[in-house]
A and B are shown apart, each in its own frame.
Chain A
């Protein structure tokens, strides 16, 4: 589904190489986790895949079902099925959460040549999905992420994911700032979306999120490359021994 080959990325503003040849394939139906120390390039990878400004791809490719996504605008990538759950969801004062989601859902449907969702159908669906994530009516009405707690913001990300039904979900440190209960709620939301046709790329520092969202494959990223790939046991190894051993081993 998602195929990343030899991806090299540098910052536009300064001549600094962040990704130095990332190779990664996420198959439909699978959950891949990327772990790695701070500054290894994990978040950069998520931003480059979703189309944020400020990064320059100098070499390599990234395709979703064979389509080059790096050439697309962020909204085109979204319509193609890429979704990034932000590490720091953005507050947008003045735009109601509900209006935002409905605009997004219908924009994507339009881009795919589908009919817009009726107001009634939309309401029905969002209410049901919000309930599963313990998001109340007030949170839906409020401006996007404004005044939301850390946990509420993350749940709101998962609600968006549930409404937009993307093919390829990228979760960037979704566990950061969450207590155990909130993490469980978010993980349940993610697990409910696991499906044969959907791929996940879960970026995290810590193993604990992976207790709840069980990965099929775990990658260790360091200094802009995937340095080691293994099964779920690799995450446990990190948890027990830290990154130092693994990095020493591959160095």
Chain B
């Protein structure tokens, strides 16, 4: 089917300003991604999955200006003993990063990596697979044009979390990062991500977890008010593997987080969760697609959004249970706490089930602060603002509790608390 002219024009305009990097071993995958992108075109507001989130600023040739945000205190995860990999406006910064050697893991910079067999088998592969049945043009754009990123191969238990740190130092930076993570059978790793990255950030992460492998992912998206980000994660899970991902988003004028998970081996577990707090000019979109293609797998989607002063939250979440994926246990909840009448939450939960012996449940709610609870707390002497914050943190708790590590849970809660206190003045 021919693309509509506007879409063609927009795609041409963007691509005119770009050229494929010299990717060496990844060249074939990049060319393929570019061809796929040309065929599907960049997203427009007419696309079904872009109805609630305007893609314009993510699509336009130049990154919109984003003032640098000053005022951060200690970066998140500072209390965690971790291996830092730092990117400044989308460029790896060796000096700011830690030594990349660690037991049971190999870490290579995408731009420097030699032709390694495992990376060639994954780069752009999971992303391409994740384009069906829903197109994700920004991820294809990423595969084609990514200028940096890391390839992480986990071969056993990894002692320290790997922390991808994104710094934003230029008001017009337009960063495209692509990471690939391969977790071998029985191996286990924790990946942390934090920071605003760039004025406009397009990030893609492909994750392949072999049978019995475990990946924990905890992300805190930067506090920069004006930054824009479109991220996509594509995860393929083998039998008895575990994938748990949590994202905290505070601030940011526009964030689109896509998560595409495919459970391909029996007894695999995937939990994806997100908590976001938005105030004013804030648009946050979680678009999740989980496919059950094996027996006795469990998936959970837990997304909570706190919105105020005209902030907007979007949730598009799907559970697809393929034929034969019996004993599937799928759960999905998306909830918003609207702190005023100006804010809005748009939710589109979807279930598509082709197996007959499954348990899938989903729910979505929007509500205000519980007045009964608020009065109860105040009647015990807790000031209204503090009481509201307590109830807000309580609202987010179900999502935050998806983080398995207690210290990281506490860290995320304290960040939310600090964010709320700053607004209380």
Q: A residues touching B (Cβ–Cβ < 8 Å)?
A: 50-53, 73-75, 77-79, 83-84, 86, 89-95, 99-101, 103-105, 107-108, 111, 143-144, 160, 164
| Contact among A74, A79, A94 with B375 in the assembled complex (CB-CB below 8 Å) | A74
Using known A-B contacts A73-B384, A107-B383, determine if residue A78 contacts B378 with beta carbons closer than 8 Å. Answer: yes
Q: B residues touching A (Cβ–Cβ < 8 Å)?
A: 370-373, 375-384, 386-387, 390-391, 393-398
Residues on B with C-beta less than 8 A from A95 are 390-391, 393-394
A-B contact pairs, 15 of them (CB 8 A): A51-B375, A74-B378, A75-B379, A75-B387, A78-B379, A84-B379, A86-B376, A90-B375, A92-B373, A94-B396, A95-B390, A99-B390, A107-B386, A108-B381, A111-B381
Residues on A with C-beta less than 8 A from B394 are 92-95, 143
For the complex, give the distance between the alpha carbons of A64 and B66 in Å: 55
Contact assessment for B380 and A78 in the assembled complex, using a CB-CB cutoff below 8 Å: yes
Nearest A residue to B398 via CB reads A94
Using known A-B contacts A86-B376, A90-B376, A94-B398, determine if residue A75 contacts B381 with beta carbons closer than 8 Å. Answer: yes
| Contact among B370, B375, B395, B396 with A52 in the assembled complex (CB-CB below 8 Å) | B375
Nearest B residue to A92 via CB reads B373
Using known A-B contacts A90-B373, A92-B373, A94-B398, determine if residue A51 contacts B379 with beta carbons closer than 8 Å. Answer: yes
For the complex, give the distance between the alpha carbons of A86 and B396 in Å: 26
Residues on A with C-beta less than 8 A from B377 are 92, 100, 104
Residues on B with C-beta less than 8 A from A53 are 371, 375
Residues on B with C-beta less than 8 A from A94 are 391, 393-398
Nearest B residue to A89 via CB reads B376
For the complex, give the distance between the alpha carbons of A51 and B371 in Å: 13
Nearest B residue to A82 via CB reads B379
Residues on A with C-beta less than 8 A from B378 are 51, 73-75, 78
Using known A-B contacts A53-B375, A74-B375, determine if residue A104 contacts B381 with beta carbons closer than 8 Å. Answer: yes
Residues on A with C-beta less than 8 A from B375 are 51-53, 74, 90
Contact assessment for B386 and A103 in the assembled complex, using a CB-CB cutoff below 8 Å: yes
Q: How far is the CB of A121 from chain B (nearest CB, A)?
A: 18
Q: How far is the CB of B402 from chain A (nearest CB, A)?
A: 14
Residues on B with C-beta less than 8 A from A50 are 379
Contact assessment for B391 and A75 in the assembled complex, using a CB-CB cutoff below 8 Å: no
For the complex, give the distance between the alpha carbons of A104 and B386 in Å: 10
For the complex, give the distance between the alpha carbons of A107 and B375 in Å: 15
Residues on A with C-beta less than 8 A from B383 are 75, 107
Contact assessment for A90 and B381 in the assembled complex, using a CB-CB cutoff below 8 Å: no
For the complex, give the distance between the alpha carbons of A93 and B394 in Å: 7
Q: How far is the CB of A247 from chain B (nearest CB, A)?
A: 32
Q: How far is the CB of A82 from chain B (nearest CB, A)?
A: 8
Q: How far is the CB of B388 from chain A (nearest CB, A)?
A: 12
Contact assessment for A107 and B376 in the assembled complex, using a CB-CB cutoff below 8 Å: no
Q: How far is the CB of A148 from chain B (nearest CB, A)?
A: 13
Q: Which 9 A-B pairs have the closest CB atoms?
A: A94-B394, A78-B381, A108-B381, A94-B397, A104-B380, A74-B378, A90-B376, A95-B394, A107-B381
Residues on B with C-beta less than 8 A from A52 are 375, 379
For the complex, give the distance between the alpha carbons of A77 and B59 in Å: 55
Residues on A with C-beta less than 8 A from B387 are 75
Contact assessment for A75 and B372 in the assembled complex, using a CB-CB cutoff below 8 Å: no
For the complex, give the distance between the alpha carbons of A133 and B375 in Å: 25
Residues on B with C-beta less than 8 A from A83 are 379
- List 14 additional A-B contacts (Cβ < 8 Å) besides A75-B379, A100-B377, A144-B376: A52-B379, A74-B375, A74-B379, A79-B381, A90-B376, A93-B397, A94-B391, A94-B394, A94-B395, A95-B390, A95-B394, A104-B381, A108-B381, A160-B380
Residues on B with C-beta less than 8 A from A91 are 373
Q: How far is the CB of B185 from chain A (nearest CB, A)?
A: 37
Q: How far is the CB of B386 from chain A (nearest CB, A)?
A: 7
Residues on B with C-beta less than 8 A from A99 are 390
For the complex, give the distance between the alpha carbons of A99 and B396 in Å: 16
Residues on B with C-beta less than 8 A from A107 are 380-383, 386
Nearest A residue to B378 via CB reads A74
Contact assessment for A90 and B372 in the assembled complex, using a CB-CB cutoff below 8 Å: yes
Q: How far is the CB of A69 from chain B (nearest CB, A)?
A: 12
> B370, B380, B396 — which one has the most chain A CB atoms within 10 A of its CB?
B380
| Contact among A74, A77, A100 with B390 in the assembled complex (CB-CB below 8 Å) | A100
Q: How far is the CB of B398 from chain A (nearest CB, A)?
A: 7
Residues on A with C-beta less than 8 A from B380 are 78, 100-101, 104, 107-108, 160, 164
Nearest B residue to A108 via CB reads B381
For the complex, give the distance between the alpha carbons of A50 and B395 in Å: 26
Residues on A with C-beta less than 8 A from B372 are 90
Nearest A residue to B400 via CB reads A94
Q: How far is the CB of B424 from chain A (nearest CB, A)?
A: 13
Residues on A with C-beta less than 8 A from B384 are 73, 75
Residues on B with C-beta less than 8 A from A90 are 372-373, 375-376
Q: How far is the CB of A172 from chain B (nearest CB, A)?
A: 11
For the complex, give the distance between the alpha carbons of A161 and B132 in Å: 60
Q: How far is the CB of A161 from chain B (nearest CB, A)?
A: 10
Nearest A residue to B394 via CB reads A94
Residues on B with C-beta less than 8 A from A79 are 381
